[in-house]
Structure 1
């Protein structure tokens, strides 16, 4: 019964996706066109890997670029441990496929839509010995195709909340499949306790994003990114910089009210919209009079109180230049990545919708992050930073907290390979 309802729901979803694509929705079109020809690409990848890496395939699947931040350090640890085994990296969302370099794994592609027919063919072409799912990517037909052929499935970096899927009445069908997983590795003991109530054993392995952001801290940026950082540093001069990442319209309204304060305060503003591509960045640049970074690829950025960063792959490195940060999403679906500024010791402010993000709760408890219940409170917080100084001690506490929570990636890789 559940399987039949799922099949109907999937057909409705695909119909809606096609309709959205016809109406011009960019991501819907990318999702459809990007998946065309996947069997041929996958077959070619299998043939290409045979001579270079003769071992059994490992399949790592992430929903989008955000989840890849958790999967990337685990993938690196696996590559280090078993260099002879090829790795397939798949995404559901275009944000992952379009942003991750093709050489990140032996093959990077979209996960086919989760129809029974697609997944039978998917497994036939590439019968991965180990399938690693990041956080909550539980596609029923993918699971069944792998499990029925004896493949090992590992759910990693998972986090479960009471009464939320799959830990609710609607998750029974998925939980039956989860009970057949080789390993369920969760971020914290609270998640292990939630899923244990349904008879599923989970091990606490930590959050590999800590390793990921620490890698970023030590990483030497690419030549192109370093050139952009040098350009921003020259534009910034001796001023302090407020870095605002993954900014939605709600945060932009706050920033608009802060703009008149910048010139006299000795601060400048770097704003990275959540939607980098499209009209948003252009509109905000027009409203504020700020230049966009893509307008000045080979020449100095003109003097201004602010800069719109409309390029992918640069934001996480700009925190190294900053003195404080606002992380967007807190008046929308949820706050975005707070670990990226935290690792550089930046104090942070976010909106009120912190949901089940336990790292935000931890950073708040040590004073490294301020949750602002209203736009007025966020303006007040930033005003205090500008008139006095950002709380460096509290910012450092955030960086130290990340150091105290490293090591999940290697632990997870060992668990995957040793079961």
Structure 2
């Protein structure tokens, strides 16, 4: 299995280089790793100890961010290094102020693992939710560097729990302690004789609760909303947007804010063609500053208060935009899986999403308490929207659910401080 793992890493490297010739994300993945070791050596002083945080992508960063920031707060002299696997995390957080440096994680080879860990010189390593790399974990173990998994979640279908999964179980044996989200994960780890596990919950609850307590205000969006009830559709894909178009036509008294998951020009052009009456947020900014030409999709509506559909065409606003809504729609449920429901729930919003939600504990919880509805079609979306907009108690249940689940960060940081 060892040689097969190494072959898989090599094959992945070849395939992603081929994909980089025509795929922008793959191109960033490859170019970002070019000379990354030299960049680390120049920016990071290997004579100092560091706390190493690794995140798969942006979602995991937001999940682990409360722990990172609480550690920095309690130990201001600590130096932090952040790595990302995915461009969607690195490109947005590469200038993160609390880190000594932010870098792409080189692919998992023995040589890369030894070099990276020597350059970073971590006193502890913290991985969020998942990403279990054989060579990185092995070298950390050999150097007796404590390794923690926070907000971990495990499922019976994973290779760790199969009879033939011995190689992958050995990867987990390098972990100093697991902080997991649910009882099932505790039981699964103990079933393979890993007792170094705590049920801590999900640090995302702390993050979204903090955001909801002090969200960033957007005056242009407040003007757009006016006195109308608002539905925010977050992280949408084309399948979601087709359904939303019909809902918008059915609800003339409501305003809709759509924040697509992908904001490349091709997707935005498709969305503008689908909903020509929308106005782009960057157009509102242009009109406000009066120094830019109108953008595509802006010619229909001149005043934001008279528009019914607002397109958020940039990254980083969505988590605060939910403050203006009465109901939220979360995208991704007709693809690989739904996106972040907790950002909306923290503002006390009932949520609607597609059928691919089973891997997400919080989605199952929200459905069970009547604060969320999963839909499969436009007709079901219309019915769910009517039900939730009339159910005031659904909003209260949503907010209370988030508040009950906070506290994970404190539990985790209390243990990590013992190793720093």
Seen in structure 2, the aligned counterparts of structure 1 residues 366 and 306 have a Cα distance that, compared at 3 Å, is: same
Within a 5 Å distance, the mapping from 1:16-35 to structure 2 comes to 16-22=15-21, 24-35=22-33
Selected match of 1:129 from 100, 123, 128: 123
Superposition deviation, residue 270 in structure 1:
0.7
User: Higher mean Cα deviation, 376-385 or 90-99?
Assistant: 376-385
Provide the C-alpha distance between the structure 1 equivalents of 2:108 and 2:259, rounded to a whole number of angstroms.
Answer: 33
Superposition deviation, residue 156 in structure 1:
1.2
- 1:59 and 1:131 in contact (8 A); partners too: yes
Within a 5 Å distance, the mapping from 1:296-315 to structure 2 comes to 296-299=284-287, 302=304, 303-315=306-318
Within a 5 Å distance, the mapping from 1:223-302 to structure 2 comes to 226=217, 229-263=218-252, 266-289=253-276, 290-299=278-287, 302=304
Counterpart position of 1:12: 11
TM-score normalised by the chain length of structure 2 = 0.91
TM-score normalised by the chain length of structure 1 = 0.92
Question: Which aligned segments of 4 or more residues in structure 1 are displaced greater than 6 angstroms?
Answer: none
| DSSP 3-state at the match of 2:219 | helix
Provide the C-alpha distance between the structure 2 equivalents of 1:282 and 1:76, rounded to a whole number of angstroms.
Answer: 38
User: Higher mean Cα deviation, 254-263 or 85-94?
Assistant: 254-263
Superposition deviation, residue 172 in structure 1:
2.1
Counterpart position of 2:57: 64
| DSSP 3-state at the match of 2:256 | strand
Provide the C-alpha distance between the structure 2 equivalents of 1:145 and 1:257, rounded to a whole number of angstroms.
Answer: 54
Provide the C-alpha distance between the structure 1 equivalents of 2:377 and 2:160, rounded to a whole number of angstroms.
Answer: 32
Residues 379-417 of structure 1: per-residue CA shift (max 9 Å, x gap): 2222445xxx44221111111111111110121111122
Selected match of 1:74 from 67, 70, 82: 67
Provide the C-alpha distance between the structure 1 equivalents of 2:327 and 2:284, rounded to a whole number of angstroms.
Answer: 25
- 2:133 and 2:171 in contact (8 A); partners too: no
- 2:159 and 2:168 in contact (8 A); partners too: no
- 1:91 and 1:111 in contact (8 A); partners too: yes
- Superposition RMSD in Å: 1.7
Residues 132-165 of structure 1: per-residue CA shift (max 9 Å, x gap): 1111111111111211111111111111111223
Residues 37-67 of structure 1: per-residue CA shift (max 9 Å, x gap): 21122122323x97xxx5x211011100011
Seen in structure 2, the aligned counterparts of structure 1 residues 243 and 170 have a Cα distance that, compared at 3 Å, is: farther
Residue 397 (structure 1) aligned with residue 384 (structure 2): no
Provide the C-alpha distance between the structure 2 equivalents of 1:168 and 1:292, rounded to a whole number of angstroms.
Answer: 49
Provide the C-alpha distance between the structure 1 equivalents of 2:108 and 2:308, rounded to a whole number of angstroms.
Answer: 48
Residues 4-30 of structure 1: per-residue CA shift (max 9 Å, x gap): 1111111111111011111x2000000
| DSSP 3-state at the match of 1:160 | coil
Structure 1 runs not aligned, ≥5 long: none
Residues 286-330 of structure 1: per-residue CA shift (max 9 Å, x gap): 221112222332325543221111110111111001110100111
Provide the C-alpha distance between the structure 2 equivalents of 1:169 and 1:81, rounded to a whole number of angstroms.
Answer: 43
Provide the C-alpha distance between the structure 2 equivalents of 1:89 and 1:219, rounded to a whole number of angstroms.
Answer: 25
Structure 2 runs not aligned, ≥5 long: 289-302
Selected match of 1:370 from 361, 370, 373: 373
User: Higher mean Cα deviation, 25-34 or 283-292?
Assistant: 283-292
- 2:80 and 2:98 in contact (8 A); partners too: no
Provide the C-alpha distance between the structure 2 equivalents of 1:405 and 1:322, rounded to a whole number of angstroms.
Answer: 22
Superposition deviation, residue 174 in structure 1:
2.4
- 1:90 and 1:109 in contact (8 A); partners too: yes
Within a 5 Å distance, the mapping from 1:2-401 to structure 2 comes to 2-22=1-21, 24-47=22-45, 56-100=49-93, 101-169=95-163, 171-201=165-195, 202-221=197-216, 226=217, 229-263=218-252, 266-289=253-276, 290-299=278-287, 302=304, 303-384=306-387, 389-401=389-401
Superposition deviation, residue 262 in structure 1:
3.4
